Structures are given as C-alpha cells and as structure tokens.
Structure 1
Amino acid sequence: MKHKLPFLLSFLFLNFFHFPATSQTSYELNAGWKCQSIAKVKENGHAISKATYSTATWQPAVVPGTVLTTQLANQQIPDPFYGMNNQRIPDIYTTGRDYYTYWFAKDFQEAPPQKNEQVWLHLRGVNYSCDVFLNGQKLNDKTHEGMFLRQSYNITQHLAKDGKNRLALVVFPPDPVGNPNGGQGGDGTIAKNVTHQYVAGWDWIQPIRDRNTGIWDKVTIEKTQLINVKNPHIITLVPGKRKPEGTQAPATVKVSAELENSTDKKVTGVLQYTLDRKTVSQKVTLPAKATQLVRLKDLVLQNPKLWWPNTYGAQPLYHLQLRFLVNGKTVSDEETVQVGIREIQREWNVHTRSMQVLVNGQKIFLKGANWIISDAMLRFSPARYDAELRFHRDMNLNLMRVWGGALVERPEFFEACDKYGLLVIQDFWITGDANGKWVDPMKKDDQWTRRKYPDDHHLFLTSAADQVKMIRNHPSLAMWCGGNEITPPKDLLTALEDSILPSLDGTRWFIPYSNADSMSFNSIGGGGDGPYTIQPISQFWAYRTWPFNSEVGSVGVGDMESLQRFLPKENLIAPQYLGPNSKPTEKVDSVWHYHNYTGVGYEQHLLPYGAPTSIEDFARKAQLVNYDQYRGLMEGFSSHMWDWYTGTIIWKTQNPWTSMRGQLYDYYLDPNAGLYGLRNGSAPLHIMFDPVDSMVLAVNNSFEIKRDMMLVATAYDMAGKSTSLGQVIVEIGASTSKKYFPLKGSLRKLAKDKGVFLSLRLLNLEKNCISSNFYWLADAKGTYSGLQELTNAPLQVAAKQSAKSKIEVTLSNPAGQPVAFFNRISVVHSLTGQRLLPAFYSDNYVSILPGEKQTITVEYTTIAGAPLPSITVEGWNVPKQTYLVK
C-alpha cells in the first residue's frame, strides 16, 4: 500500500488539475475519434500521434465512452442489456487486460497560438490509466492513474504549425480487474483500484465485461491568455431563519479562485466577478510559473432570491461571471458559475436521536432516493440526467444519495439537481461489501486486508480533493459521505475529515459512512437498514426502523411493455408461486434471475388479486403492488415525522441497466406505478389512511400553518355506490403530521364481503380539492374479491394538444357507474404504437369516481417529422383504447 501522507495543504490548494465550468473559449472533442486494440498496434505513441501515421484501418470510437460502447456501436458485440447477451461478451478476467487495452486517436484543427495565447487540453475522466501523446510528443511524465482524477495539460508549445493536430491515448484497464464470481463487487479486488466497484457485479447488475475501460468523460480544448482562472469556489451564507416568500435579509457571497501563470514573466492584473449586476475586484500580481489562490472581498447581497429544496420553495440560480483582466483591461480568462443562494446546516434531534438538516434555517424532512448511476456503461447525457432527476422531482422527493460503489457524479447531474431542488449526499468510493465490513467467502482477501483497500491511498486522496473542487459550487450538494456502510481506512478518513473537506469546502456536513451513528443512532427500537423487499403495508406504519434510514425500499417490476424491451419472447414467463413450504418458494425463469428478479417477489402478494393467468396479468397486477408499496412506504415514514424519523432514503429508485430489482422507472425511462404511488405518498400537503389503527391523518411539509380546510372521507362499493364516512374541519401546523378521526367499524363493515374503495379529500373554502388519496381495501379474508368481479366502466377520454410537446387528457366516468379503476395513460407514436419516452405525466394509474372527471397533463419529447402522437388508456376495468390527439 502506498502512503504519501501527510497531505500538504499547499498541494491541496494549488496543484490539482482543473476542468473549467464555462471558459472564455473552449470546445469538446467528442466526434471523429478512432481506436484500435493494442494487440494490433506495433508502433508507440510518439509515432501514432504524428499526422503521418495512418489510422485508416482503425475503427470509429465512442468518446466519451468505453471500449464496450465502441464495440457495441460497431456491432461487434450484442446489446448486453438484452436477454442473456451479456454472457456472450468475453470478460476481462478471462481474456486478460490486453484484450480491452486500446489506443484512441483524434485529429483536430487548432491553429498555432497567437501572442500571449495559452491552449489547454483537459481530460475529465479516463478509466483506468493512460499515456497521452500529441503530435509526436508525450504529455504526461508518468502514466496517469485513477478513474476520478482529472488531467490538464498546457499544449501551447506542442501544437502543429499547420494547425493539423493529432491526439493519441493508450488506455489501460484497472489492475486487478476482479473476478466476477457473483459476490457484491465480485471477489472484491476491483476495490484495490480507485475506481467504481459495481462493474464486477452486484445483486442488481451483472458484470460490465470491460470494467468500463476507456475515455469515459469529456475531452476539452480551452484557450486563455496569459493567466488561467481555475477552480473557482463560491460560498453563500444565509443567516437566520428564512421563509421562501417576502423580502429577504441580506446574504453573504464569498468567492475565491486559483490563478495560474504558466509564462516565464510576472503578470499584473485584476481578478473580478459580477453577480446580480454588482462587481467585486482585486488587483493581483502573479509570479512567473506559479499558481496562486486569491480570495476576493465578500459581497453582501441585498434581498437575495433564495434556493430551496423541492416542495419547500423555488430554485432561482444566479449567474456569476469571474474573470482576470491583464493590466485591468484585457480579458485573459473567465469562468461562469451558476450560484444558488442558500445555507445548509444540521442539528441533532434529541427526540429521534438522529441528525436533521436545515436549509436557510428551516428544518427539512428528508425524502430521499439512493442513486446508483445513470447508465452502467457510462453513456451519459445532459438530457438523460435531466429526465431522470425530473422524475425524482415529480415524485416529490428532495434528496439524492449518490452511492459509494459508483462515482462522484458528473457536473451535469448536479446541474439537474440544482434545477429541480434535489439535495445531494455524495459518497466517496468505499463500500462495506468490497472494503471488508463482513466476513465473505466470495472475496479473495480476508476482512483485514480488504479494510486497507485501495492500494494507493495517496491517489485516493488526490482524486477526492480534485472531485471536491469539481462539484463544490453546486447548491444542491449538501453532504459528503466517507463510504457506503463503512468508513474509509483511518488515514483516508482523517485526511478527508480534517484536511481536504475543511480546506476545499468547509460548508457541508461530512458523514463518516452512510449509516453512521452520527447520522442516525441505530439502536432505537431495534430496527435497521432496509428491508429491501415487498412488505405488508402495515409494516411501514407500525415497525420502527432507524431514525434516519439511509436504505429502505421495495421492488419495481415494470409492466408488459417494459418487460418486452429486454426479455426475449420465450422468456416472458410469469414467476409461479409454489407456496411458503416449498424451497424455493417460486419458480422463476433463468433470464429473470439473470436480470435480478428479487426472489422474494410479487407472486404471493399478487394472489389476493387472483392468481396471475398470464405474463400480461402478472405485470398488470404487479403495478397494484408497486403503487401500494411506495405510497405506503413514504406515508408510514411521514406519519412519524420528527417523532420516529428525521428522514428516509429509498433503496433504490432507478437502475442503470435492465434489472428488475428496486426501480420506479426502467432503464428506458418508462415509469411503473410505483413512481406515482410515491408521488402521491410524498405530496407536501397530504391526506392519508393508517391501515394499522384505521386513522385518517394529514401531513404538512411546509413552513406555514394550513387552515380553513375540510377533510372528507367517502367509501365506494364495487357498483360505485358511495357512503359518507365523515368530515372534519382541518388545521395543521407547519412541518407536522396530525391524526383526525378513525374509520374502524364503519370501514370494516363496508369492506367485509368484497372489499371497498376509500376516497380521502382535503377541500378549501371554495370546495376545490387540494389533496386527494384513493385506496382499495381488501375484504375480511384479506383478498380483493370485489376487484376480481368489478364490471367495466364506460370511461370517456378526450385528448388535445395544449402546447408544443404537451397534451391534456381528460378522463370522465358517467354517474351511476362503477369506479374506473387504476388507469394507465401513455403517449404513443401514432404509426408504431410505441410509447414515446421519456414522458412526464402530472399523474398516472388514476381512478375516476362515478360522475367525476380528471385532467392529466402529459409532456413528451417531440420527434422531428413524426405525426401528432396518440394516447392510449387502459385500466383494471377499462379495456385498452387508443385516442387521437386533437
């Protein structure tokens, strides 16, 4: 193990590579790359990087991307996300590292620099090691290592005189690559590297065969003048206890940046920034060949527009422009940073014995999601990030935890979180599974050896400091976490906690590990992390888990269209429940197993709805379970807000490949019913039903008392006949939950024979509904016998285009009819009938009461040249129909 500590503060501040936020002149090298296996290349980098070397026989390469994404683009491998295709792709553990070691080359135009101009090459991520060549010259003195360490090279003196340049990199895989033996992180040795661990396999993904070797993140050319502005750092302070509306007391903005003078003469100038039409300046003299940290005078911002977490307020962002002017006149370099004015604090809740988070002085009940990564093969895009984080915003969540077996998420991820008001806990690259928390027969090394991973501690700390600089300006970034379910080794933990984070950030809470006692004292009530499977709904209400549970969740198999995207026709076979005394209890198709079907699955939870008769019936009934599970999860936690809990984080909400384990939308961005159940259960003002004591409750996740509301409870039988269960005037305090009245006897009597529907509504003084909830309750035997006999409802559907890429769908159920139950709306291509993805629905899987109607808004991505889409509607007792959009 390489130890090069202590970690010098001057090194932390001045010598890390940087990547610009938005520079004066920059462009990305993201097309026209070519590559070749190292086995087919005899020449060295000096020769390959010369324009005279022919790459005519090389293949097109995907950059940013990996060897596997390039092979897939060139049709050399099958889609590893479909069926059992991943088993047909050679694994690097078997082939050896050379098989996935590749040369990458890119020709680009860049004229020789003009007077005082400096040209920079930035590599934001290479996995795992590389040598870099430009025009016959090697740029790095020694081989670069580390997936999470950016590279920056001044290439001013290396550019070709004719402006025709060639960049060449040889990229080597991690070493060791790890044995994908079925364990979490395989045999664990992938964690000896400073890289992501899931690529050797986990219980929600199969191994990534090349371990994501490649130039996986952006390659950029930046041009400056004499001085390069690097790593700006913006801190905002919002004293006192604030509210989202009204005139605000002042906030303070602190700005600093590193200035690099790569020339051989000293340079004098002015560093300045502009924010909200106010400018702060400071004169600076920079010695030759030096980098200097400069802190500017604080700016007191009057009446600031404050940034708030989702559902608590808006997310305004300011543009801060930071520039250096040589001699106070000529712009040498500039960076633009999006700034959210907010301050994040924390305090210990002595009642729950867990930490609670405050934003702008107000405590926030944290409703979170565990996030793995957008795409297991690192095929990132701002559009995909935006869509996925929008789903989380739409679920009324306010927190994302980036899991430690993956990566420090990209700036584009944080930009979407900034936009949608999603706080972020960012883990570093440690997990209990691979890093020695448990004795594990699947691991190559013993527990004590694994506790020392990774091998190169200096590289880990250098990478951590670099990544902190990359994302620290985002208002959404709220907390750092040492690792998943385990701390990093002691020397790493000490450096992070006592040196790196205080020096380079200094404003955020550092959690030693994801379920640390300092986050949540985990002996209360005997609960624990998880569980991770389907549970009785009463469990969420009555069983006390950890007071800030970092991982608790359920399941999330998609509907039939989702399953068809990655399961071959012959494997579209529903699991069969064999009974509680059988071992195993379910008979499950092998391809389902390969795609991580939970094993403790749906079948026994579907039986109360009637045994599935087909795969279509299985998928349809699974959505009822999905909706009920995730609504119940968040309702149960919210009902004990500030009493048992200060927050919870769902494990997990999304999958970066075609897994069936824990997801609210599939890899193709198609939601299942769980998304809308969670959206309902997480609503900031919410009326709900406790299945344990049959109480009706309300929860208010705002900073204001809610008054002048009427709570109305109504039951509906299977024929649509209604029975009033009571009503009461409601007043509920800020950030609290409150019980109102029980429905025990009357509801049990109505549900006894066939089950019953329960409608809960909050009405304002104008009798407009401001919160609603709709439950389906079982009969006295615990079955949904009435649903199995429910007659069809003549649902009427009208769809019209209300704006570009926006459709309004109105569902109407005539009076005297049964409830039109659990209707899925989909926007589809008018010719192919395929769903348009991603699409965003104001609600879905909705039930329409007799004599009522509901309008759903759909936003979708327009396809150039495609006709106006159609709408399909299909419900439990509503046959599938397609409707033209007017």
Structure 2
Amino acid sequence: MTFKKFKLQLIIPLLTFAMIYSWQAHGQDMEELNSGWKCAPIKEVTISGKQLSDTGYDISSWLPATVPGTVLTTLLNNKKIPDPFYGMNNLDIPDIYETGRDHYTYWFVNDFEVSSKKNEQIWLNFRGINYSCDIFLNGNKVNAQPFKGMFLRKSFNITGLLKDKGKNRLAVIVYPPDEVGNPNGGQGGDGIIAKNVSHQYVAGWDWIQPIRDRNTGIWDKVTIEKTGSVNVKNPHLITKVPGERSSDSAIQPDAFLDVAAELENATKKNVEGTLSYELNGETVSKDVTLKANSTTKVQLPEFTIKNPKLWWPNMLGPQNLYSIKLTFKEKKEGISDEENIKFGVREITRKWNDHTRSMQIMVNGKKVFIKGGNWIISDAMLRFTPERYDAEIRFHKDMNLNLIRIWGGALTERPEFYEACDKYGLLVIQDFWISADCNGKWLDPMKLEDQWTRRKYPDDHNLFIESARDMVKMIRNHPSLAIYCGGNEITPPIDIMDALQNEVLPEEDGTRWFITYSNADSMSFNFLGGNGDGPYTIQDTEVFWNHKTWPFNSEVGSVGVGDIQSLKRFIPEENLVPPTFNDSTVDKVWDYHKYIGYEHHIRPYGDAKDAEDFGRKAQLVNYNQYRALMEGFSSHIWDWYTGTIIWKTQNPWTAMRGQMYDYYLDPNACLYGLRKGSEPVHVMYNHTDGMVMAVNNTFDTYHNLMLRIESVDMEGNKELFTQVIVGIEPSSSKKYLSVKNYLDKVAKEKGIFLRLQLLDMNQQPVAENFYWVPDAKGEYSGIKNMPTTSINVEAKKTAKGKIEVKLSQNANQPVAFFNRISVVDKKTGKRVLPVFYDDNYVSVIAEESKTITIDYDPATIDLSNSEIAIEGWNVSNQHIQIQ
C-alpha cells in the first residue's frame, strides 16, 4: 500500500505518555499491564484461544501492541498506517464498513509474572474493551459469560488459573462493534453505530471524519490486583453541607459524610471482619460477617466533619480535597484490602428560577451562574493520559469557566478526567450515550432506518442499563460531578429512561440532578422554538447581546481556526491556501477538516493575502466572538439566563471549528477572548447601544471602584472620557453609562481603541478591557493602516515552572496591538506545548506596560533550549532570551 505524505512527530509525544506514566493504584496492591503486549489480526491466527494462551506458543514475530489503545493506535505506532489526523491521510486507511469486521478483529497477548501468598486472591480487571472479547489465561477460558459493551468494567478472580512460578500468558481476542455503520457523511454516518452500547462519533460527525476501526481494542486500563479473602469494591461517599455557606469563612458549620462499599468475599467460607476509615483523627467502623462467595454492600455510620474545608467551583473558592483509606480487616488474617479515596466536601442543589424560567445551580447553598464548555473527548483515538487531561482541564479553568458538559455521542469520561476537574474546580454534566442525530429525533435521509426504529436504539437495552449502573459507580465520588443527562438533545428509550430515573441513579447515587436530555424543559424552558441551541458559526456579535435565547442554553458557540503554526501541524504546505471572500471554493484539506467560513468577518480587516495572514486575522475574529458571547450572556445574568454552555471548547481531532486550543494543545485567541469575557469581575462595553457595564461573577461586594473610560487613536493619543466611582453587588450585572455618542464621533473616520478600567483605592486594576471599535462603515480602516512600532520585552524565570514577560511601550508611540507571546524552541522556532499564559493577544499603550505570567512543566520543558517569541499586529516579530 502506498501512502500520501504524513507526519508522526507531532503526535508521538502524546502517545508515549500512555506507556511511561506511573499509575496510582487505588487498591491495596495493584499493577497495570501497560507494556509487553503483542497483537495479530484474527486472519493470521489459526489456533484456539486456549492454545494461544500457552506460553509455549511463539509470538515473537507478532506486532508490539499499545495497551491501553485501539487497533489503529497500534498500527500507527508501528508505522503501518499514516497519521489520520494529518492532511487527508485518513482516506488512505481502510474503513471497517468496506473491509468487514474481521479486518480489525485482533488478538492481544501479554506474558506476565505475579507472585501470591497463602490466602491471597488475584484479580484481573478490565476498565474498558470495545466492543466484545473472549479472554484466555494459561490454557483456560476466563470469561464464562460474554463480555460485551464499551462502557462496562469487568473483574475476574484468576487465583486458581495462575502458575505457581514463571510467566503466565493472557490472550484476549477483541471484536469490533457489532454494527459498524456506513460513514456516509451523516451525523454518526447512517446511524447504525448507535445500535451498539458505545460511542457514536466514530462513524463521522460535522466536526470529525470517521475513525476507521471504530476504536476497536483494549482501550482502557488492564490491571492485576491482589487482595486477601475480601475485595473492597465500588466505595460510595456522600457529603452533606446544609445551609448557605461562605467561601471565605474561617469557621464553617458542621458537614456530614456517609461512606459505604461493596465487600466481595471470594472464598468458600464466611469471613468476619471490620470495615473502617480514619478522618481528622477519628475512626469510623463497622463489624460485619460476610457469607461465602457473596458480595455485600456495607453502610458505615454517618461522620460529622467539624469546621470542614469546603470544595468550590472555579473562581468561587478553593478546591479543598480530603483523603481517606477505606480498609477491610479480617478478624484473624489482618488487612484484606483497602481503597484510597479522594473527595471534596460540598453539596450541589438546584432551584427553579421563575423569572428566567430555567434551573439555577447552587453549590453549598450559593447560586452559581454557569459558564460552561461542551467537551467531546480528549482524543478521538482514545489515547488518554493524566498529563493531557490535566492540561485540557487547566485550559478550561484558565478560560474562567466553571462547568464542562460531556456530550452524549462520546463516552463516560475516565476517573483521571474527573480528578483534573476536582483539582481545578470544573463542575461536570455527564451525558449518557444517546444522541438526537442517531437516535431518531429527526427525519434524516442519511440514516439507514426510520425514526421509529432508531428511537429503540441500542439493540441491547439491558446492556445499556448495566453499563450505566457500572459507570455511575466508577465516577460518583468526584465532587466535580454535578449532573447526569439522559442524552444529547433526546431521551433514551422509555424503558432505559425509567431504569435510569427510578433504579440506577437512586440506588447508586441519589444525590445528583438528572436531566432527561440536554435541552429539556426541566433545565431550560424552550419557549423560543427553533431559536434556541446554537448558533454554530460566526455571528454578528450583537446577537449575543440582544437576541434572547434559551435561558440555560446547553449549546451555543462559534469557530476556532488557529494561526499559521497551528495550521501547519496538519495541513500540507501545498494546501495552505486560505479561503477568500470572492471565491466560494475551499481547499480540499480545509474542507476535509471541517472548515467553517470566516471570509466576510475577516474582510473588515482586509482580505487575507495568504494562509499566514488569514490565521492572524482569524484571531481577531476569534477573540471578539468569544469575548462578546460571554459578555452578552453575562449582561443578562439572572434576568434572561441562569447559565450557558459553549459548543464547543475543544477538538479531539484536527478539525477547524469549535475549539479554544487545537488538538496539539496550542491555544488560539478564542481562549483568551473567552477568558477576558468570563473573568471574575469584568467591565465591558455593549457595542450595540454603547452601554458600559460590569458583571460580578464572585460572591464578594465591590464598593468604591473607579470606572475609567478612555479612547486611544491610531497614533497613540489618549483622551479621557470619564472617571466615576461605582460599585457592584455579588453575582450580578450593572449598567453605568453610555459612550455611544462619544464613540460615534471619535471613531467615525478610522475607528478607535477603547479602554475600560475598574480601579481600586490604590489605583490598581480590578478589571480592564480593551476594544477596537470600527469606523462608521463598520471597517477597521485605522487598524489596516496602523503605523508600525517597536515594543520593549523582558523575560525572566521567577520561580520553578514560572516565567514573567514584561511588555512596555515608549512615549509618543502608537498602541502595540494584539501581541501573541509564545515559548518556542530556539532551534526550530516552533511553540513548546503545552504552556499556560495568564493573558495573551495583549495590547500595550504608550508609556505603559503589561506583565504576562507563564506556567510550564519543568519536567518536560528545558528552558535552556527555549526562548520567548512575540508576534504583533503592527510590531516586528522578536525572539527574547529568558533571563
């Protein structure tokens, strides 16, 4: 097979994380089987699973396999296929719909050693296989019953199947989804992929091309666990925080903790023992007798937490976390098993807002205006790592968001995702695996079967319910998990819905709000008909300010094309041809990567001369789009809206829409425009009526702030419009005055820059915002012809993992406009990723300065090989040494 040009170097660093990171076991003694795997397609294996799982059978010629991973991941890592994220390489990879399921049916084999002691139980645990499998160990079939379903964990007691000494051989044959679907260009292809209990995007969507193997493989962790006679499983923690709390109070009223767990006695005799944990120097315990070969749920007495340190969402307080070790100790044998559990003390409730006609969320008794982002999945080929999760959730924190919704066409996110959300204070809505597109909400000529048939998907309802119960058990202890959702824009079938509402969630959780579907009336009364969800393209920013949409909108968003460095990561040089205003055609690679038009939004800045110019001007559009989106919604806080969730904030593939950072973790201006519009205390300008106002996203009251409004022309001349004392109450917005008449006058010819500041009594900014206002024709004529200028830059390391970059402008100079700061490799000039900036795309006025703080991981980034790059609109590019 001949492949087109492809590149692996950008993606390999992300893949290697999966093989080298050290996983923190939650059980007493657990080891992950994440290396030493070999694989072969079923067509090349002519012996049975029992024969294959004998170590005497030679597999030395087999392909090294990536586990956790998919078949495509293994083929990519062995350079058997091109990078499907680059160019149009995905077209060169055979699709399972054309090849048949056997093409991607693979055997995976691992030889491992394990030692055991007397009375010790050994468990083989799978956290995710897609889609079904048979398991063999040392010549024995392990799973007596079928193991099917992408979202179902399985645990097998293999004590009696292990060898006394030497290597054991585990052989797993993994079959693709039962129904792979035709990737015909529809949302989820022809919809048949939804007949499985699995994710749906793998057959293609409007933001991704099809995943050719439908993500077949052992895609999540495989572990070997040792316990005594009793295995502690599925611990369940519930915290209760009655009343309304203050996030900054040193003394808090009592909170309460309920702890339960399942205890599996794997022996043929009854076992007596004690389940216990210790917290704040006190022990909570219960003596139990467990019947032979049984699993028993044990509830411990309620514990009172004195003066608790509470967990709060991002920007509203600290994300305090507690740790306990839940231990079962046998009466005669000592500790049998223990689970280490982190949790946050918080209580999430809800209340219907009669004014907005939508639900409002409360955390620890305080109402929280929701500013969220829709999340698909970290990587479309399921290459998950704690490091990548941490970086992506950190970006969401840096956007000043407080919630992430996990879209229903993907999966139940991994515990490592939730750990990052716990750490950074992001609430989570977890959808179950249903979507309107595949599951029959609309007539759709792209779908193979009619609506009535699709409304019954998936084929196996019992498997869906069993998987939902198991996934709830996996994620329920995380303080970030706030809401469950039945499906994306549609409910599951009636019997599944009934089981979720009346059995699974009450029995396995019982504390969280369940939304029947993502835009249900119980969340947001949808009184506007079709003018609700969306838009999904670039909008005139007046839409966000003046056009009322659903009062708790689950999907509203725009675009997110990166700059030239981002584009070059996945577009071949010969295809770096920007779209133009006068030409409706788009380069085939841009089109394949789901480009949405920017042209008439870029035109006010001047038509793009080339791809680099296009990427630069696109950032101006990106910044204004997402700043205006959040400003517009925030301006109507508690009046029109109780929250909004952006569609969407990230891409798991190299698409060109709906992303604040690209697949390679490089932020674009969307992130910083959204960060600005979402900041805790924000001063803003409604360009449609000239109103200057503020929004306070905190629980604090601000008095005696100085509102300062000034304009700056294209030559850098400043004019103070007004300076007045203002205040703003907690969690509210407030209008102050209009600058429309003033701006109509001063911006008429060339446009103008407008700076808004809220200053404290020490004249220090509490909030600052910088707008570029078009001329009377709606064009940025002054910006097009801005005088060039220089800018002074200093960069120094201030602490481990921190850099400060100071930008300053000389007197009698124009504004140094829209500067992007990057950490780059000295030799290649390419950006070092991921790196976190507390602001970016900044503008500096004459005789003033700005300081940008940069966070990086010193374990992965060598500053001796790095420098700071500055790229500005009217400033020559500079590279600065880090002192």
TM-score band, normalised by shorter chain = over 0.9
Change (3 A) 1:799 1:387: same
> Within the alignment, does 1:414 sit opposite 2:418 as a pair?
yes
CA distance in 1, matches of 2:89, 2:465: 38
Listed as ranges, the gaps of 5+ residues in structure 1 are 1-18, 579-584
Q: Which amino acid aligns with 1:696?
A: V
> Within the alignment, does 1:301 sit opposite 2:305 as a pair?
yes
Instruction: For residue 491 of structure 1, give the secondary structure of its aligned residue in structure 2.
Output: helix
Partner of 1:871: 868
> Within the alignment, does 1:649 sit opposite 2:678 as a pair?
no
Partner of 2:808: 812
Q: Which amino acid aligns with 1:161?
A: D
> Within the alignment, does 1:445 sit opposite 2:449 as a pair?
yes
Task: Report matched runs for 1:347-746 at 5 Å.
Answer: 347-524=351-528, 527-578=531-582, 586-598=584-596, 601-746=597-742
Q: In the TM superposition, what is the alpha-carbon distance from 1:480 to its structure 2 partner?
A: 0.1
Q: Is the 8 A contact 1:20 1:230 kept in 2?
A: no
Q: Which amino acid aligns with 2:832?
A: L
Q: Is the 8 A contact 2:518 2:554 kept in 1?
A: yes
Q: Which amino acid aligns with 2:853?
A: T
CA distance in 2, matches of 1:865, 1:770: 34
Q: Which amino acid aligns with 2:783?
A: L
Q: Is the 8 A contact 1:258 1:292 kept in 2?
A: yes
String of CA shifts for 1:26-58, please: whole Å, max 9, x gaps: 010000100000000001110111111110111
CA distance in 2, matches of 1:802, 1:725: 38
Change (3 A) 1:526 1:75: closer
Q: Which amino acid aligns with 2:716?
A: G
Instruction: For residue 878 of structure 1, give the secondary structure of its aligned residue in structure 2.
Output: coil
The equivalent position to 1:118 in structure 2, one of 118, 121, 126, is: 121
Task: Report matched runs for 1:116-265 at 5 Å.
Answer: 116-246=119-249, 247-265=251-269
Q: In the TM superposition, what is the alpha-carbon distance from 1:859 to its structure 2 partner?
A: 1.6
Q: Which amino acid aligns with 1:181?
A: N
TM-score under structure 1 length normalisation = 0.96
CA distance in 2, matches of 1:806, 1:240: 40
Q: How many residue pairs get matched?
A: 859
Change (3 A) 1:526 1:728: farther
CA distance in 2, matches of 1:65, 1:744: 57
Q: Which amino acid aligns with 1:705?
A: T
Q: Which amino acid aligns with 1:155?
A: I
Partner of 2:102: 98
CA distance in 1, matches of 2:150, 2:530: 39
TM-score under structure 2 length normalisation = 0.96
CA distance in 2, matches of 1:87, 1:527: 37
Q: In the TM superposition, what is the alpha-carbon distance from 1:867 to its structure 2 partner?
A: 2.4
Partner of 2:755: 759
Q: In the TM superposition, what is the alpha-carbon distance from 1:831 to its structure 2 partner?
A: 2.0
Q: Is the 8 A contact 2:245 2:365 kept in 1?
A: yes
Partner of 1:839: 835
CA distance in 1, matches of 2:218, 2:390: 23
Q: Is the 8 A contact 1:837 1:861 kept in 2?
A: no
Q: Is the 8 A contact 1:20 1:335 kept in 2?
A: no
CA distance in 2, matches of 1:281, 1:193: 42
Change (3 A) 1:47 1:866: farther
Q: Which amino acid aligns with 2:715?
A: A
CA distance in 2, matches of 1:571, 1:530: 30
String of CA shifts for 1:505-532, please: whole Å, max 9, x gaps: 0000000000000000010597311111
* Higher mean displacement: 347-356 or 700-709: 700-709
Q: Which amino acid aligns with 1:781?
A: K
CA distance in 1, matches of 2:25, 2:301: 21
CA distance in 2, matches of 1:356, 1:524: 19
Q: In the TM superposition, what is the alpha-carbon distance from 1:163 to its structure 2 partner?
A: 3.6
CA distance in 2, matches of 1:345, 1:71: 47
Q: Which amino acid aligns with 2:301?
A: K
Q: Which amino acid aligns with 2:420?
A: A
Q: Which amino acid aligns with 2:838?
A: S
CA distance in 2, matches of 1:834, 1:805: 19
> Within the alignment, does 1:769 sit opposite 2:772 as a pair?
no
CA distance in 2, matches of 1:725, 1:220: 66
CA distance in 2, matches of 1:56, 1:115: 34
Q: Which amino acid aligns with 1:400?
A: I
CA distance in 2, matches of 1:455, 1:880: 58
CA distance in 2, matches of 1:777, 1:834: 33
Task: Report matched runs for 1:329-344 at 5 Å.
Answer: 330-344=334-348
Q: Is the 8 A contact 1:276 1:318 kept in 2?
A: no
String of CA shifts for 1:719-741, please: whole Å, max 9, x gaps: 11111111221111111000001
Q: Which amino acid aligns with 2:146?
A: T
Q: Which amino acid aligns with 1:174?
A: P
Q: Which amino acid aligns with 1:810?
A: K
Instruction: For residue 473 of structure 2, give the secondary structure of its aligned residue in structure 1.
Output: helix
Partner of 1:881: 878
Listed as ranges, the gaps of 5+ residues in structure 2 are 1-22
Instruction: For residue 279 of structure 1, give the secondary structure of its aligned residue in structure 2.
Output: strand
CA distance in 1, matches of 2:861, 2:252: 45
String of CA shifts for 1:80-119, please: whole Å, max 9, x gaps: 00000000000000000000000000011112x3111001
CA distance in 1, matches of 2:467, 2:511: 20
CA distance in 2, matches of 1:20, 1:791: 56
Instruction: For residue 565 of structure 2, give the secondary structure of its aligned residue in structure 1.
Output: helix
Q: Which amino acid aligns with 1:203?
A: D
Q: Is the 8 A contact 1:836 1:860 kept in 2?
A: no
Q: Which amino acid aligns with 2:803?
A: I
Q: In the TM superposition, what is the alpha-carbon distance from 1:864 to its structure 2 partner?
A: 6.7
String of CA shifts for 1:569-588, please: whole Å, max 9, x gaps: 0100000122xxxxxx7221
String of CA shifts for 1:247-271, please: whole Å, max 9, x gaps: 1000000000000101011110110
Q: In the TM superposition, what is the alpha-carbon distance from 1:705 to its structure 2 partner?
A: 1.3
String of CA shifts for 1:597-641, please: whole Å, max 9, x gaps: 02xx11110100111111111110000000000000000000000
Q: Which amino acid aligns with 1:39?
A: K
CA distance in 2, matches of 1:328, 1:545: 65
Partner of 1:5: none
Q: Is the 8 A contact 1:35 1:58 kept in 2?
A: yes
CA distance in 2, matches of 1:410, 1:245: 31
Partner of 1:6: none
The equivalent position to 2:82 in structure 1, one of 55, 73, 78, is: 78
Q: Is the 8 A contact 1:356 1:646 kept in 2?
A: yes
Q: Is the 8 A contact 2:126 2:222 kept in 1?
A: yes
Partner of 1:10: none
CA distance in 2, matches of 1:20, 1:881: 43
CA distance in 1, matches of 2:162, 2:142: 12
CA distance in 1, matches of 2:703, 2:419: 36
Partner of 2:8: none
Instruction: For residue 532 of structure 1, give the secondary structure of its aligned residue in structure 2.
Output: coil
Q: Is the 8 A contact 1:20 1:231 kept in 2?
A: no
Instruction: For residue 879 of structure 1, give the secondary structure of its aligned residue in structure 2.
Output: coil
